[in-house]
């Protein structure tokens, strides 16, 4: 290798400085305020240590519930986004004639603002909205629900919309992963008499593991940070059935309890960081062993 | 003017890009210093050209500023040369945006706020200009003055209306079914049952609107403060708890019962407020909890509905016989730190002129009694009838009298009550603990 | 792979049925944007009785769309350009020289994918820099918001660019500046376009940030300007859908024109990350 001195760190500096000043500095400010009782009802801000965090984890309030909702939202959406993305990618990888058009269509929702998607689905999921109309039309009356207000379905409905939005994005990433697998492997396997299922489990899946890992991390980050789609669809309601961490952050902020609002968003941050780090650890270990 | 502005920021962008270039040691220093000097030379230039006329920024929530407000702003502009610029936030973002702007010293010149104790959420001590000596104060109606007074000072201009929430109904429909105005909860249930039996959904309840769920509780305020004088003060010093008020618990228990009996219809939690005029105009519903001028809106859209003959009675939860009224709707305050206080005062004078008030109220059929004594008001049939039907009189509602009364929090808790997530007692306790946090 | 043609047609058909679940909701917007307020009140798939093109005319004139369109264009494109420029440079060095410090810096950028933005403290920083309420201010914030993901993209892509080119250029006596801008940067085109577009979209679709960071009406972008004008009419579904169509249209055109790059760049970037 050449002398690496030429790759001067000066080149990193513009991005580093911009990012430090306009992103990290405000975030650190937020971290500091999370240890205070800053509220716009008080004349002074005082340091209260971990009190906000204690309240989040040990009070019987709705904070724990929103953490629970966030985690289950993340778990389900990650599984389904990846699953549906994988199925779509496999279908498209079969040499369909209209592959390009289909790929464009499935990726389309990712281009739209989640707020706009929220507005669209509020009307689609209403009790007399198009979804129920379709269900009634094909004779599945018993499956109709008031999707965004029924307590058994509302959280699931928000997950469904998120999956709708992001499945195509997963498909695109997995599709690319599939295309890096050389055809010769399949041909060799076919010569050995391996069936399609065997080819899938012994060639496709192992080669896809790195792609799936990255997609999983990004999906988890998206899941734990969920806000706009729920904000637009239900605003955390009805009651607190779809309250997630970031809708609570927003709520605390609007009542002027800035300290608490910052503490909550730090909790979301720490969760995401921990999970992302864990997965990175696992995946790098796996890479090393294989 | 806009082109010189554009030049200015194009230069600034160049300057900042060039600055980045400088940091990496790649930019040519000559062109870099050039663009910075032009940008700083331009700045005082455009500042002097702007000086003659000023711009007054007015922060408002989307629903509070109507077409007529914009029209009057244009008239004001034509008369004085000063420009009004509305900074509109969506209803659910407004409080956040305004508070963060105040927090960072970026407050607007004029801001809109709900009247009464709700003005306190924007810290009037720090931000609101004392308007007690403005000429229009002397023409204020009593309720308007009371609703804009804080610590003995008038701090806002009200061109809204005092109103309250009651059950609007169609007397013809009642007559056909042989029903009379209910005066207590049991009679109310009987009325609903009779209507339901005839195939009419008794009540249109926009369950998706969190704030409307809060209003249901809000209507019991005047009853409570009549029975227990001074209770609002106790709430405001955090000495009394809502959970200890038996009447409120009874009221919420009954509210849940109304929902469970199907009087609101099946999917009422997905019904919206925006659809309420159509719902009432369609004749599918017999009653609705709304304000006294609502019938004008129905009539405007459904001329055959005879909505002008509709009447109103107080919602008899916990046998309430009082009509709870607001502190006067939405009002405007001037930011103490504004650089254009004189122009803002001039704007308020303009809005409070008799002819402009007439024009304004004519364009707002949703407003009833008028905040100034020299303009003649109009009262709806609902207004006169609800005053008659409220045999225990009228009084200030919770929103107008109790601090830290958070519509969204309370609305969600009431939704939780319908869904069986909380008992009436737990709902009240949760409101208490939410308010307690604000006193800490 | 040899497959029975019938099976292939079945699969194609099946995938198109799945695609309908994307297309139907989207067509719903267009259909309802052409209805009268009355008709659109209950949102259905029924076709409008009479096409109401007047909705578009009204939105276009009332919202002062041209002016705000150019504001949006300016904010989105300049911020995307800045973001792409600074991150491609940074990623290049981070990939080529993976010493301890640079690895830490990479992880430091990664934090940005996860950490929560705080508007109040952001405003305070902008005030200190005298950038609050200015185009440069919001442009730099948009650019910064795009940095973490763009670093991620470029890092992956640059890893796949062979170092032989670098070595040849260095032997020819190129400095880092020339090496990067005239040799390496042109090779990054696919991922540059991807990064640019994702950043552009982020800024274009951002409704909340300008609410906090811009106090001036004449500087608002398209979404905010339209909202400002139509805030009052926001319970008329036909107008809501008209507005959605108008704000989505530029994005859609951009997507269709550049989709080859968007998808391929995103893929190559994220695969190697």
Residue C176 has pLDDT above 50, yes or no: yes
Query: Residue C99 — left, alpha, or beta (φ > 0 → left; ψ -120 to 50 → alpha)?
Result: beta
- Please tell me which of the candidates C116, C205, C259 has its beta carbon nearest to residue A27: C116
The predicted structure's pLDDT at residue B22:
31
Fold held by A58-289: MetI-like fold (1.10.3720)
CB-based contact, B409 to chain C, within 8 Å: no
Mean pLDDT of C203-216: 81
Handedness of CA B238, B242, B244, B246 (dihedral sign): positive
Q: Are C115 and A269 in contact (CB under 8 A)?
A: yes
Phi and psi, residue C128, nearest 5°: -60, -35
> Would you state the pLDDT for residue B45?
39
Pairwise CA distance, residues B8 & C151, whole Å: 31
Cα B198–chain centre separation? 36
CA distance A68 to B186: 41
A73 touches C at CB < 8 Å: no
Under an 8 A CB cutoff, do A239 and B421 touch? yes
DSSP characters over B337-363: T-TTHHHHHHHHHHHHSHHHHHHHHHT
Q: What is the 3-state secondary structure (H, E, C) of C90-106?
A: HHHHHHHCCCHHHHHHH
pLDDT number for residue C268: 61
Q: What is the mean pLDDT of residues B275-303?
A: 91
CA distance A109 to A53: 37
Residue pairs spanning A and C at CB distance below 8 A: 221
Task: Say what the pLDDT of residue C44 is.
Answer: 67
- The residue among C58, C78, C124, C136 with the most chain B CBs within 10 A of its CB, best to mutate, is C136
Give dist(CA A32, CA B215) in Å, integer: 38
Topology of domain C64-272 in CATH is MetI-like fold (1.10.3720)
Nearest CA in chain C to B58: C215
Please determine, for residue A196, whether its predicted confidence score (pLDDT) is greater than 70: yes
The partner residue sitting opposite B87, judged by closest CB among C123, C127, C215, is C215
Q: How many CB atoms lie within 10 A of CB C7?
A: 10
Locate CATH 3.40.190.10 in chain B: 55-161+328-362, 165-325+380-439
Q: How far away is chain B from the Cα of A122, in angstroms, using its nearest Cα? A: 10
- Band (A140; pLDDT cuts 50, 70, 90): confident
Helix A99-107 to helix A63-92 angle, to the nearest 10 degrees?
A: 170
Contact B158, B131 (CB under 8 A): no
Exposed, middle or buried, A207 (CB in 10 Å: 0-12/13-18/19+)? middle
CA-based nearest residue in chain A for residue B433 = A61
C-alpha–C-alpha distance, residues A206 and A290, integer Å:
10
User: What confidence tens digit (pLDDT) does each residue in A85-101 have?
Assistant: 999 999 988 878 888 88
The encoded tokens of residue B361 equal 């109220």
Question: Chain A closest CA to B421's CA: distance in Å?
Answer: 8
pLDDT higher than 90, residue C183: no
Yes or no, beta carbons of B12 and C135 under 8 Å apart: yes
pLDDT of residue C186 exceeding 60: yes
**Is residue A163 pLDDT above 90, yes or no?**
yes
pLDDT > 90 in chain A, percent = 31
The pLDDT, as a whole number, for residue B166 is: 95
Measured between CA atoms, the residue of chain C closest to residue A98 is: C12
* B33 pLDDT higher than 50: no
3-state secondary structure of B85: strand
Distance, in angstroms, between C15 CA and closest chain B CA?
Answer: 33
pLDDT at B8 exceeding the cut of 70? no
B-chain residues near C215 (CB < 8 A): 57, 87, 101, 106, 108
Integer Cα distance of B118 and C154 in angstroms = 51
Which pLDDT score, from 0 to 100, does residue C231 have? 53
Cα separation, A286 vs A281, whole angstroms:
9
Phi, psi (degrees; rounded to nearest 5) at B245: -90, 105
| Residues of B with Cβ-Cβ distance to C140 under 8 angstroms | 16
Q: What pLDDT is stored for residue B31 in this prediction?
A: 33
Which residues, other chains included, contact B205 with Cβ-Cβ below 8 Å and sequence gap of 6+? B212, B259, B264, B265, B268, B271, B288, B289
Cβ neighbours of C193 (radius 10 Å): 17
Quickly count: other Cβ atoms within 10 Å of residue B377's Cβ: 15
The residue among C208 and B76 whose pLDDT is bigger is B76
Instruction: Report percent pLDDT > 70 for chain A.
Output: 96
Segment of A96-105, B343-352, C157-166 carrying the highest mean pLDDT: B343-352
Contact between chains at B87 and C120 (C-beta distance less than 8 A): no
Strands B149-150 and B153-154: antiparallel
Contacts of B364 in chain C (CB under 8 A): none
Mean pLDDT, chain A, integer: 87
Q: Which chain B residues are Cβ-neighbours of C89 within 8 angstroms? A: 24
Stretch B54-75: mean pLDDT, rounded? Answer: 90
Most confident of the following: B13-17, B248-252, C188-192: B248-252
Q: Which band of pLDDT confidence, cut at 50, 70 and 90, is reported for residue A289? A: low
B440 chain-A contacts, CB cut-off 8 A? 37, 39
CB B357 within 8 A of CB B179: no
Q: How confident is the model at residue B24 (pLDDT cuts 50, 70, 90)?
A: very low
Residues of chain C above pLDDT 70, percent:
86
- A129 vs B: CB within 8 A: no
Region A113-128 average pLDDT? 84
Q: Which chains touch A (3 or more CB pairs under 8 A)?
A: B, C
**Residue B17 pLDDT > 60:** no
Rounded CA separation B430/B192 (Å): 30
Lowest mean pLDDT among A44-53, A277-286, B97-106, C177-186: A277-286
Spatial CA neighbour of B129 closest among B151, B156, B102: B156
Average pLDDT, chain C: 82
Q: What are the residue ranges of helices labelled H in chain A? A: 13-19, 25-33, 51-58, 63-92, 99-107, 114-124, 130-137, 154-179, 183-191, 196-199, 205-224, 228-233, 245-254, 258-289
C258: cis peptide before it, omega within 30°?
no
Written as six digits, the tokens of A48 are: 């209260």
Q: Please state whether B419 falls in left (phi above 0), alpha (psi between -120 and 50) or beta.
A: alpha
Q: Do the chains contact at A112 and C16, CB–CB below 8 Å?
A: no
Q: Does B212 score more than 90 pLDDT? A: yes
- For residue C267, give how far its alpha carbon lies from the nearest alpha carbon of chain A (Å): 5
Query: Mean pLDDT over residues B71-100, rounded?
Result: 87
Q: Which of C64, C75, C217, C237 to mutate to test the interface with B (most CBs of B within 10 A)?
A: C217
> Chain C 139-198, CB below 8 Å of chain A: which residues?
140-141, 143-145, 147-148, 151, 163, 166-167, 170, 175-176, 179-180
Whether residue B26 is predicted with pLDDT greater than 80 in this model: the reply is: no
C227–B90 CB contact, under 8 Å: yes
Instruction: Say whether residue C114 is in contact with chain A using an 8 A CB cutoff.
Output: yes
Cα angle value B276/B184/B271 (rounded, 5°): 20
Considering only CB atoms, which chain A residues are within 8 Å of B92?
235
For residue B49, pLDDT over 50 is answered with: no
Is B62:A52 a contact under the CB 8 Å cutoff? no
Q: Are strands B330-334 and B157-158 parallel, antiparallel or unpaired?
A: antiparallel
B89 touches chain A (CB under 8 A): no
pLDDT of residue C209: 85
Read off the pLDDT of residues A13-66 as tens digits, 9 standing for 90 and up: 999 999 999 999 999 999 999 999 888 777 778 899 899 999 899 876 679 999
C-alpha–C-alpha distance, residues C85 and C146, integer Å = 11
pLDDT score of C84 more than 90: yes
Q: Is the pLDDT of residue C169 over 60?
A: yes
In this model, does residue B44 exceed pLDDT 80?
Answer: no
Tell whether B88 is within 8 A of chain C (Cβ).
yes
Describe chain B by its helix, strand, coil percentages, rounded to 5: 55, 15, 30
| C246 and chain A in contact, CB less than 8 A | no
Q: Does domain B165-325+380-439 have CATH number 1.10.357.10?
A: no
Shortest Cα distance from C218 to chain A (angstroms)? 23
Question: Would you mind telling me the total number of residues written for chain B in this entry?
Answer: 440
Cβ neighbourhood burial of A111 (10 Å; 0-12, 13-18, 19+): buried
d(CA B205, CA B290): 10
Among residues B106, B107, B58, B46, which one has the least CA distance to residue B82?
Answer: B58
Q: What is the CATH number of domain B55-161+328-362?
A: 3.40.190.10
Is it the case that residue C265 has pLDDT exceeding 70? Answer: no
Q: Is A251 helix (H, G, I), strand (E, B) or coil?
A: helix
Q: Is the CB of residue B210 less than 8 Å away from at least one CB of chain A?
A: yes
**Does residue A84 sit in helix, strand or coil?**
helix
> How many whole angstroms from its chain centre is CA B128?
18
Q: How many beta carbons lie within 10 A of that of residue C260, not counting itself?
A: 12
Alpha-helical runs (H) found in chain C: 5-33, 37-40, 54-62, 65-96, 100-114, 119-128, 135-159, 164-171, 176-178, 189-205, 208-213, 222-230, 237-272
- Banded pLDDT at A181 (limits 50, 70, 90): confident
Instruction: Work out the widest C-alpha separation in chain A, in whole angstroms.
Output: 79
pLDDT over 70 (residue B346): yes
Map residue C164 onto helix, strand or coil.
helix
Neighbours of chain B (3+ CB pairs under 8 A): A, C
- In this structure, the number of other CB atoms found within 10 A of the CB of residue B263 comes to 22
- For residue A214, give Cα distances in angstroms to A283, A284, B67, C269: 9, 11, 51, 11
Cβ-Cβ contacts under 8 Å, C82 against chain B: 17, 20
Cα-Cα-Cα-Cα torsion C239, C242, C248, C253, nearest 10 degrees, comes to -170
Supply the pLDDT for residue B345. 96
Cβ pairs A/B, distance under 8 A: 80
pLDDT of res. A162: 96
Q: CA-nearest residue of chain A to B413? A: A239
- Using CB atoms, pick whichever of C115, C167, C263 lies closest to residue A103: C263
Among C127, C212, C217, beta carbon nearest to B97 = C212
Kindly provide the residue ranges of all beta strands, DSSP E only, lying in B118-232, ordered along the sequence: 149-150, 153-154, 157-158, 165-169, 201-204
Is residue C134 less than 8 Å (CB to CB) from chain A?
A: no
Percent of chain B with pLDDT over 70: 88
Q: Where are the domains of chain A?
A: 58-289
Is the pLDDT at C272 greater than 80? The verdict is: no
Alpha-carbon distance values, B279 to A93, A124, A129, A276, C32 (Å): 51, 20, 17, 50, 20
pLDDT for B319 equals 96
- The whole-angstrom distance between B308's CA and the closest CA on chain A is 30
Residues A169/A200, Cβ–Cβ less than 8 Å: no
B153-184 pLDDT per residue, tens: 999 999 999 999 999 999 988 998 899 999 99
Cα(B269)–Cα(B131) distance, integer angstroms: 43
pLDDT of B337 reads: 93
Q: Inspect the interface and report whether the beta carbons of C118 and A103 lie closer than 8 Å.
A: no
Q: What's the pLDDT score for residue B41?
A: 37
Contacting residues for B130 by C-beta, under 8 A, at least 6 apart: B153, B154, B155
Mean pLDDT of A219-239: 87
């Amino acid at each position: 290798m050449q002398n690496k001195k030429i790759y001067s760190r000066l080149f990193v500096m513009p991005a580093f400085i911009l990012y430090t000043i306009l992103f990290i500095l405000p975030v650190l400010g937020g971290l500091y305020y999370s240890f205070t009782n800053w509220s716009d009802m008080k004349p002074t801000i005082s340091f209260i240590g971990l009190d906000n965090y204690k309240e989040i984890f040990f009070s019987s309030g709705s904070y724990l519930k929103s953490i629970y909702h966030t985690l289950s939202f993340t778990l389900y959406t990650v599984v389904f986004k990846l699953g549906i993305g994988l199925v779509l990618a496999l279908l498209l990888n079969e040499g369909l004639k209209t592959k390009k058009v289909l790929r464009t269509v499935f990726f389309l929702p990712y281009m739209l603002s989640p707020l706009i998607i929220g507005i669209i689905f509020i009307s689609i999921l209403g009790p007399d909205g198009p979804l129920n109309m379709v269900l009634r039309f094909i004779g599945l009356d018993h499956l109709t629900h008031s999707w965004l207000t029924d307590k058994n379905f509302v959280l699931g409905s928000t997950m469904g919309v998120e999956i709708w939005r992001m499945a195509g994005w997963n498909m695109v990433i997995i599709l690319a992963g599939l295309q890096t697998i050389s055809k010769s492997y399949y041909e060799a396997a076919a010569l050995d008499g391996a069936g399609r299922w065997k080819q899938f489990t012994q060639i496709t899946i192992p080669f896809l593991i790195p792609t799936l890992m990255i997609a999983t991390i990004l999906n988890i980050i998206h899941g734990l940070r969920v806000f706009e789609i729920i904000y637009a669809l239900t605003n955390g309601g009805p009651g607190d059935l779809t309250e997630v961490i970031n809708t609570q952050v927003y709520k605390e902020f609007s009542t002027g309890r800035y300290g608490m609002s910052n503490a909550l968003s730090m909790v979301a941050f720490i969760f995401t960081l921990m999970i992302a780090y864990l997965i990175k650890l696992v995946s790098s270990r796996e890479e090393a062993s294989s | 003017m806009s082109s010189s502005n554009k030049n200015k920021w194009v230069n600034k962008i160049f300057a900042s890009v060039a600055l980045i270039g400088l940091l990496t040691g790649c930019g040519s220093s000559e062109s870099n210093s050039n663009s910075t000097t032009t940008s700083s030379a331009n700045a005082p230039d455009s500042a002097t050209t702007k000086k003659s006329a000023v711009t007054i920024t007015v922060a408002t929530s989307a629903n509070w500023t109507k077409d007529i407000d914009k029209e009057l702003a244009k008239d004001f502009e034509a008369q004085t040369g000063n420009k009004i610029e509305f900074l509109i936030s969506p209803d659910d973002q407004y409080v956040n945006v305004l508070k963060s702007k105040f927090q960072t010293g970026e407050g607007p010149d004029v801001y809109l706020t709900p009247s009464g104790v709700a003005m306190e959420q924007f810290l009037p001590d720090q931000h609101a200009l004392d308007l007690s000596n403005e000429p229009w104060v002397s023409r204020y109606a009593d309720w308007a003055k009371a609703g804009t007074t804080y610590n003995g000072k008038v701090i806002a201009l009200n061109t809204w209306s005092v109103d309250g929430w009651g059950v609007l109904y169609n007397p013809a429909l009642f007559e056909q079914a042989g029903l009379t105005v209910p005066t207590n909860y049991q009679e109310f249930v009987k009325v609903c049952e009779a209507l339901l039996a005839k195939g009419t959904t008794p009540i249109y309840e926009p369950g998706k609107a969190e704030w409307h769920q809060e209003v249901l509780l809000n209507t019991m305020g005047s009853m409570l403060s009549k029975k227990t004088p001074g209770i609002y003060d106790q709430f405001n010093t955090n000495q009394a708890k809502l959970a200890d008020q038996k009447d409120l618990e009874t009221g919420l228990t009954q509210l849940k019962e109304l929902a469970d009996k199907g009087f609101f219809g099946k999917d009422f939690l997905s019904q919206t407020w925006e659809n309420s005029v159509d719902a009432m105009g369609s004749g599918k519903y017999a009653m609705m909890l709304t304000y006294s001028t609502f019938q004008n809106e129905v009539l405007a859209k459904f001329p055959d509905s005879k909505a002008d003959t509709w009447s109103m009675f107080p919602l008899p939860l916990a046998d309430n016989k009082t009509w709870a009224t607001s502190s006067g709707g939405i009002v405007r305050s001037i930011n103490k730190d504004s650089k254009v206080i004189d122009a803002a005062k001039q704007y308020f004078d303009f809005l409070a002129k008799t002819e402009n008030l007439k024009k304004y109220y004519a364009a707002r059929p949703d407003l009833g009694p008028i905040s100034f004594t020299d303009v003649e008001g109009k009262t709806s049939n609902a207004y006169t009838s609800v005053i008659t039907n409220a045999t225990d009189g009228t009084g200030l509602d919770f929103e107008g009298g109790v601090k830290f009364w958070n519509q969204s929090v309370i609305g969600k808790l009431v939704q939780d009550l319908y869904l069986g997530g909380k008992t009436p007692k737990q709902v009240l306790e949760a409101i208490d603990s939410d308010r307690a946090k604000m006193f800490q | 792979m040899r497959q029975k043609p019938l099976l292939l047609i079945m699969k194609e058909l099946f995938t198109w049925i799945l695609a309908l679940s994307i297309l139907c909701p989207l067509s719903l917007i267009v259909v309802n944007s052409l209805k009268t307020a009355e008709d659109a009140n209950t949102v259905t798939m029924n076709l409008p009785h009479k096409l109401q093109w007047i909705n578009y005319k009204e939105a276009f004139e009332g919202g002062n769309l041209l002016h705000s369109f150019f504001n949006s264009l300016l904010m989105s494109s300049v911020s995307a350009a800045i973001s792409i420029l600074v991150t491609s440079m940074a990623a290049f060095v981070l990939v080529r020289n993976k010493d301890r410090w640079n690895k830490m810096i990479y992880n430091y950028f990664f934090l940005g994918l996860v950490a929560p933005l705080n508007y109040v403290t952001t405003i305070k920083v902008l005030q200190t820099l005298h950038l609050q309420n200015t185009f440069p201010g919001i442009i730099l914030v948009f650019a910064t918001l795009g940095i973490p993901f763009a670093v991620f993209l470029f890092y992956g892509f640059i890893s796949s660019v062979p170092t032989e080119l670098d070595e040849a250029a260095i032997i020819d006596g190129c400095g880092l500046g020339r090496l990067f801008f005239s040799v390496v940067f042109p090779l990054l085109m696919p991922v540059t376009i991807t990064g640019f577009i994702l950043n552009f979209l982020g800024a274009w679709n951002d409704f909340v940030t300008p609410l906090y960071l811009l106090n001036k009406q004449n500087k608002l972008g398209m979404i905010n300007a339209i909202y400002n004008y139509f805030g009052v009419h926001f319970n008329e579904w036909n107008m809501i859908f008209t507005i959605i169509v108008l704000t989505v249209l530029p994005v859609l055109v951009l997507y269709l024109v550049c989709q080859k790059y968007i998808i391929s760049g995103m893929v190559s970037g994220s695969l190697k990350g």
